[in-house]
Structures are given as structure tokens and as C-alpha cells.
A and B are shown apart, each in its own frame.
Chain A
Amino acid sequence: MTAQIKDYAQLSPLLAGELKPGVLTNTLLKKEDYLREIAAGSLFAEKFPGGLLLLRRREGYQRLNFYLQRGASLPPLSFSLPTVLEIASRPRDQALRDSEALWEQAGFRPLFSRQRMARPEGLPPLPGREGLSAHVAAEEELPALERLLQECFDPLAGCLPTREELREDLQNGNVISLPGGILHMGKAPGGTELRHLAVTPSLRRQGAAQALFAAYLLHTENRASRVWVRTDNPPALGFYEKNGYTCDGWTSRVYTAGKEM
């Protein structure tokens, strides 16, 4: 039975005993993360023998995090909202990878896979095409950039920032733009993570993505960079390979269950 978590005292006993040898999990939220979700009224939980499901509600869908003790089975699952589950792993995380079959048996449908790619600090940039230049975006560009992200990325699994998160990223200089193009970044160990790179369809194949990327390297002083790329997107994979990214071993599978969005 899924229940809304209204205060930390309600959550604490559910979490107790989950973090022990052999547990499989796709996330580790800190207490402050839980407190933020609880304050926003967005945290729901379902305890079952051998594990705990945590659902974080978002606009029109929810994200699933789990703790699953090794050998445990999942209970019958039914979701009233589209539900997204992402399991990231390395080749050595075999037990976690094996658990993916359980989710499929429970009704989760694979949407796509991503692989993480890394670019070392200081790698010389490719020469850009002349005539196109991108800039650090201003807060006034928020509506247009938000529309562009929504146009180019899956609303459920595209990891889109909320309007407020995007506003904050604009204020912090974490967005590069040109008319019809956006590059959205965040912090990552030793450098930055490239979170979204998109160009409106009518402007593709004209060097806009490369211009955004050149401005990104300049803005980040060519520090180390990471990106998660869908494996079913050969143009994106080719773009990052061309720009010096290689797979670092992390992959993730994204599943969905519940009502279609």
C-alpha cells in the first residue's frame, strides 16, 4: 500500500534496516533530500517484505527509487501515474544488473539506455564553423529555452529541469544559447556535466551544436566534462565521440510503468 510521507518520523522506521549488506538500490538520498520532498508533499512510500519503494512525484509523473534486499521478490505493482525507473550501473554491479529482470517481470517496460561518456580536461577543441557563435544565456531567455527543451526532450525521461531550476541555472551561468539552440550544464567531479544539448530541428546540420559546444568549452575553461547519451541516438553519440568523449563504463536503463503520459 503506497502512503504519502508527511514527516520524517514516519519515514525513518521504513528506511531503518534497508542499508545493509546485499541491498540493491538505484539511489541514496540524504536526509535533507527527503526533508525537501516531504515539505513539497511529493514523497510516497511502499514497504514490502524485503524492500522499500520510494516514489517522488513530479508534474504528471513520478520517479521510483528502491531498496531491494538480495533475493527478495517485488510485490504486485500498480501505479496511478506514469512511473519512471532508472538503474545506473557499472559492469561489476552484476547483482544490480540482474535485478532489472525483476522490474520487467513486474510490468516495467524498457524505454531506452544511456551510456556515460567523459572528455578529459584540456583536450584541444575542434575548429568551429565561422559565422555561428553562442553566448552565456540571460535570464530573459527562460521562456524560449524552456520551450526548446520541452520540444527536444522526452517529458518523462529527459531529466528536464523545472522552471525554477532552469532559472537558477541561468542565473548561475550554466546555460549557453544561440537562437534555436541550448546547452545546459551542471557541476560534476573535476569539471562539469553536460545535461542537455539541443538544436531546433530546422537548424540542425548547420554547425549550431558545435558552436554551442565551443562556447561551453570556453566558458568552462576546457575542464573535464561528462555527458549521459542515449544509445539509440547515433548522431549524438557521433557528435560526442568526434569531440573527444569516450565511454567511462557507466550505463543506465530507463523503464516506465503505469499510465502512459
Chain B
Amino acid sequence: MENREKLMEILTEACPGVNFEGETALIDDGILESLDIVAIVTEIMDVFGVELNVDDLLPENFNSVDAMLELIESRK
């Protein structure tokens, strides 16, 4: 499965009903909240086998699917 598909599976499971592909301000617009972020970040680490750090937990890294994919790629 492609990275984008894997990520979309994580996101839609965490927050059903959100149109992730069309959103570019998931954090800034309050579409994702802290519990969602906990679920998404821990799943990203588990599924992609990547390690993150606190400095990665910035809105700009989670505002869109592309930003999250970029973060994952940069940590591989």
C-alpha cells in the first residue's frame, strides 16, 4: 500500500467524516483536536516505523495530508 493510502486509512479511522484531501488547515481551523493528534501521531509512528520528536508537533506539520506525508518521509 502506498504511503498516502496508509495515512488516509489512519486519518479516516481517527476522524470519520473529515474531508482530509480537501483540507489545508486541519490544525489551524480546529478540525483536529488534541486527542485526534495523539491517536494520529501514535498510529503514524507505529504504521510507518518512524520516530518523531516534540519539535515536530507543529501545526504546519499536521495541517494537511501532504504536510504529514512530508514529515513522515523526512523521518524515514
The reply to whether B38 and A25 contact each other, CB–CB distance below 8 Å, is: yes
Indicate whether B52 reaches chain A with its CB closer than 8 angstroms: yes
Interface string of B38-64 (1 = CB under 8 A from A): 110110011001111111111000000
How many residue pairs link A and B with beta carbons under 8 A? The number is 62
Interface positions, chain A 21-54, Cβ under 8 Å from B, are: 21-31, 34
Indicate whether B34 reaches chain A with its CB closer than 8 angstroms: yes
Interface locus among A88-96, A103-111, A198-206:
A88-96
Indicate whether B37 reaches chain A with its CB closer than 8 angstroms: yes
Q: Which of B15, B39, B42, B56 contacts A23 (CB 8 A)?
A: B42
Provide the bound-state CA to CA distance between A93 and B41, in Å.
13
The reply to whether B46 and A21 contact each other, CB–CB distance below 8 Å, is: yes
Indicate whether B8 reaches chain A with its CB closer than 8 angstroms: no
Indicate whether A71 reaches chain B with its CB closer than 8 angstroms: no
Q: Across the two chains, which residue of chain B brings its CB closest to A248?
A: B16
- B-to-A contact residues, CB < 8 Å: 13, 15, 18, 30-39, 41-42, 45-46, 49-58
Provide the bound-state CA to CA distance between A22 and B48, in Å.
11
Task: Determine which residue in A27, A30, A92, A188 has the highest number of CB atoms from chain B within 10 A of its CB, and name it.
Answer: A30
The reply to whether B54 and A21 contact each other, CB–CB distance below 8 Å, is: no
The reply to whether A23 and B45 contact each other, CB–CB distance below 8 Å, is: yes
Count A interface residues, CB 8 Å: 27
Question: Nearest chain B CB to A123's CB is how many angstroms away?
Answer: 15
Provide the bound-state CA to CA distance between A39 and B38, in Å.
24
Instruction: Tell me the interface secondary structure of chain A in the complex.
Output: loop
Indicate whether A17 reaches chain B with its CB closer than 8 angstroms: yes
Interface positions, chain A 176-210, Cβ under 8 Å from B, are: 187-190
Question: Nearest chain B CB to A93's CB is how many angstroms away?
Answer: 7
Which residues of B sit under 8 angstroms from A30, Cβ to Cβ? 54, 57-58
Which residues of B sit under 8 angstroms from A92, Cβ to Cβ? 13
The reply to whether A189 and B31 contact each other, CB–CB distance below 8 Å, is: yes
Provide the bound-state CA to CA distance between A30 and B13, in Å.
23
Q: Which of A15, A22, A26, A189 contacts B36 (CB 8 A)?
A: A189
Which residues of A sit under 8 angstroms from B37, Cβ to Cβ? 28
- Nearest first, the 10 closest Cβ-Cβ pairs linking A and B are A20-B51, A19-B52, A21-B45, A30-B57, A28-B38, A189-B31, A15-B54, A21-B46, A187-B30, A21-B49
Provide the bound-state CA to CA distance between A93 and B35, in Å.
12
Q: Which of B33, B35, B54 contacts A19 (CB 8 A)?
A: B54
